[in-house]
Amino acid sequence: MNDLDKIPDGELEREWYVVAFRSKRKAGSDSAALYDADRLAHEEAIQNGGLIMYWYGVPEESGDNLATCIWQSRAHAIAANSGPHHIKAMRLAASSFEYYTFEKFILRKWKGVTDLELTPYTEGPVGW
CB of 54 closer than 8 Å to CB of 45: yes
CB of 22 closer than 8 Å to CB of 64: yes
Confidence (pTM)? 0.84
Q: What is the pLDDT of residues 61-89, one digit of tens each?
A: 888 999 999 999 999 999 999 999 999 99
- Domain ranges (residues) in the chain: 25-120
DSSP SS3 for 102: strand
Distance between CA atoms of 29 and 4, rounded to whole angstroms? 42
25-120 domain in CATH 3.30.70.100?
yes
| Res 8 pLDDT > 80 | no
Q: Among 4, 31, 2, 23, which residue's Cα sits nearest to residue 15?
A: 4
